[in-house]
A and B are shown apart, each in its own frame.
Chain A
C-alpha cells in the first residue's frame, strides 16, 4: 500500500530559532495521527508546513494525488497546491472564525468548496449543504442563518461540514476542540470519529489535550522544542512513554 502522505525531513526555522526540524513520517489511508506538545513545541508550525500554509526550509511533503500519484506538495505549483487545498485536503482551524466566512450563510459556507470546483446548480448545492448540516447535527432549517448566530460548538461543526463536503482524503486539524465546553467537546469528538471512519479519512490532529488523541488518534507524535521526541501507537505512547518529556506530559494530566 502506498502511504497517503510521506513526510521527509521537514524543517522550518524562524531566524535562528527552530520552528520544527527533522520531522519524517508516513501516513497511510484511514490513519489518524495526533501531534501533541506544549505551546511553542513546534506542532502548529509543523502542521502549517504540512498543509502548505508555511513554506518549510527543507524537506518534502509527498501526497498521493488521485491523478498523478505521489507528488511533492512543497515544490508543486501554487495553483496545484491551492486546488489540493480545496479538494483532497481540508483544514479545520481552532477558531471557527478563521475557517468560516462569518458574513455568509451556513449554506453558502458549505457550498463554497462545491462552487469552487465548478458546481453551478443552486438547488443541488443547497441540498448538499442541508444534508451536511444534518451530518454535523445542525438543524437543516438553519441553512440560511449566518454563523454569527451559532454557538461555538455549532460553528466548529459547521466548519467541519464546510471542509468535508468535497470528500477530502486528508484533514488537518489544529486544536479542533480547543475553547469548547467539555460536553460540547465530547459531542464533537464523537462526530469526528464517526466521520473519519465513515469516509475513510486520514487526519493529522494537533492538540495539547491527551484525551482527544486517545479517543481519535491511532498514532501519536510527541514534540518538544521543535523536535519529535517520541512517536508510536497512541496507547503505547500514553501508557508506556519512553521519553522523559512524554512521561512528564502524561503524568501531568489531572485524573478525573
Chain B
C-alpha cells in the first residue's frame, strides 16, 4: 500500500548562502495493508520528515513515493489532493482549523469532503467524539479554544472519521491520559483489522509494542556525515 524506493530529501536554504542540507538518502520501505510500521530513531533523525514526504507535504528530491499506486513525488497537486481525500489520512500533532467552525463539523469534514451523506457524517463524528470523551456540550464550539489534550483528541477523531486505506500517525498517544490512550490504540487496531496500512511515530514504547508489527530506524536513511 505504501512503498518508498530510494527516496532522498534535502533542504536548500537560498537565503542563507544557498546552504544545502541533505536530510535523507536511500530511504526505502514497504507497508502492506493491515500492517502497522513504527518509525524510530533519535530526535532529528528524520521521522517527521519521512512522514511529510509520504504525505506530499515535503517534496522528495529523488526516488519514488508510492501510495496506493500513485507516485506522490511526481503527482499533480490535484492527484495528491484526491489521494488525501480518499486514500491517505494523516493525524498530525497539531490541529489546524478555520476559526469558528464547530468541533462536530471539523470532525465530520473528511467525510463530507468525499460526498458522504451529511447526517451519516455527523453521526459518525459524534460517535468518535463520544468515544474520545469530548463532552457533548463542546461539540458546537470551535476547537481553537480547547485545551491541548482536547485538541489532540479532536484531531484524532477527525483523522479516523474516514476509513482511509493508508494512514500516517504522528505521536497519536502523546499527552493523552490512560483511558484515552487505550481508545486511540483500539482505533488503530480496528484500522489495521479493516486492512489499513499504517506508518506511525510512537515515542510511547508500550503503545508501539502493542500496535506495531515492526520498526524501521530512520537513522539508516540519514546521509553519511562526511559523505
What's the minimum C-beta distance from A234 to chain B, rounded to whole angstroms? Answer: 8
Assess whether B81 is in contact with A233, with CB atoms less than 8 Å apart.
yes
Given that A233-B56, A239-B57, A248-B15 are contacting pairs, would A28 and B78 also be in contact in the complex, using a CB cutoff of 8 Å?
A: yes
What's the minimum C-beta distance from A240 to chain B, rounded to whole angstroms? Answer: 4
Binary CB contact string for chain A from 200 to 243 against chain B (1 if under 8 A, 0 otherwise): 00000000000000110011000000000000110110011011
Assess whether B99 is in contact with A233, with CB atoms less than 8 Å apart.
no
Name the contact of B113 in the complex, choosing from A186, A197, A247 (C-beta under 8 A): A197
Assess whether A186 is in contact with B98, with CB atoms less than 8 Å apart.
yes
Number of A residues contacting the other chain (C-beta, 8 Å)?
24
Inter-chain contacts of A31 with B (CB < 8 A): 78, 81
Inter-chain contacts of B112 with A (CB < 8 A): 197
Closest chain B residue to A219 by CB distance?
A: B77
What's the minimum C-beta distance from B117 to chain A, rounded to whole angstroms? Answer: 15
Assess whether B98 is in contact with A215, with CB atoms less than 8 Å apart.
yes
Bound together, the chains give a CA A232 to CA B58 distance in angstroms of 11
What's the minimum C-beta distance from A235 to chain B, rounded to whole angstroms? Answer: 5
What's the minimum C-beta distance from B15 to chain A, rounded to whole angstroms? Answer: 6
Which residues in chain B, 4-30, are within 8 Å of chain A measured between CB atoms?
11-15
Assess whether A242 is in contact with B15, with CB atoms less than 8 Å apart.
no
B100 within 8 A of A: yes
Closest chain A residue to B113 by CB distance?
A: A197
Bound together, the chains give a CA A33 to CA B81 distance in angstroms of 12
B216 within 8 A of A: no
A81 within 8 A of B: no
Assess whether A251 is in contact with B59, with CB atoms less than 8 Å apart.
no
Given that A233-B56, A236-B59, A239-B58 are contacting pairs, would A244 and B77 also be in contact in the complex, using a CB cutoff of 8 Å?
A: no
Assess whether A190 is in contact with B57, with CB atoms less than 8 Å apart.
no
A193 within 8 A of B: yes
A187 within 8 A of B: yes
Name the contact of B58 in the complex, choosing from A193, A215, A236, A248 (C-beta under 8 A): A236
A189 within 8 A of B: yes
What's the minimum C-beta distance from A42 to chain B, rounded to whole angstroms? Answer: 21
Assess whether A233 is in contact with B100, with CB atoms less than 8 Å apart.
no
Given that A218-B77, A218-B81 are contacting pairs, would A240 and B100 also be in contact in the complex, using a CB cutoff of 8 Å?
A: no
Bound together, the chains give a CA A67 to CA B11 distance in angstroms of 48
Given that A239-B52, A239-B58 are contacting pairs, would A233 and B80 also be in contact in the complex, using a CB cutoff of 8 Å?
A: yes
Closest chain B residue to A243 by CB distance?
A: B14
Q: Is the interface of A mostly helix, strand, loop or mixed?
A: helix
Given that A233-B56, A235-B57, A236-B56 are contacting pairs, would A247 and B14 also be in contact in the complex, using a CB cutoff of 8 Å?
A: yes
B138 within 8 A of A: no
Which residues in chain B, 89-112, are within 8 Å of chain A measured between CB atoms?
96, 98-101, 112
Inter-chain contacts of A28 with B (CB < 8 A): 78
Bound together, the chains give a CA A174 to CA B14 distance in angstroms of 30
What's the minimum C-beta distance from A43 to chain B, rounded to whole angstroms? Answer: 18
Bound together, the chains give a CA A31 to CA B81 distance in angstroms of 10
What's the minimum C-beta distance from B89 to chain A, rounded to whole angstroms? Answer: 15
Assess whether B57 is in contact with A244, with CB atoms less than 8 Å apart.
no
Binary CB contact string for chain B from 23 to 60 against chain A (1 if under 8 A, 0 otherwise): 00000000000000000000000000000100011110
Bound together, the chains give a CA A102 to CA B52 distance in angstroms of 48
Closest chain B residue to A1 by CB distance?
A: B78
Binary CB contact string for chain B from 64 to 80 against chain A (1 if under 8 A, 0 otherwise): 00000000000001101
Inter-chain contacts of A236 with B (CB < 8 A): 56-59
What's the minimum C-beta distance from B93 to chain A, rounded to whole angstroms? Answer: 14
What's the minimum C-beta distance from B10 to chain A, rounded to whole angstroms? Answer: 11
Inter-chain contacts of B12 with A (CB < 8 A): 242
What's the minimum C-beta distance from A25 to chain B, rounded to whole angstroms? Answer: 10
**Which B residues have a C-beta under 8 Å from some C-beta of A?**
11-15, 52, 56-59, 77-78, 80-81, 96, 98-101, 112-113
Known contacts A215-B98, A236-B56, then 7 further A-B pairs from the complex at CB < 8 Å, ordered by chain A residue: A190-B100, A197-B112, A239-B58, A240-B11, A244-B14, A247-B13, A251-B15
Query: 25 pairs across A/B with beta carbons < 8 Å?
Result: A31-B78, A186-B98, A190-B98, A190-B99, A214-B96, A215-B98, A218-B78, A218-B81, A219-B77, A233-B77, A233-B80, A236-B56, A236-B57, A236-B58, A236-B59, A239-B58, A240-B58, A240-B59, A242-B59, A243-B14, A244-B14, A244-B15, A247-B15, A248-B14, A248-B15
**Nearest 3 interchain pairs by C-beta:** A244-B14, A186-B99, A240-B58
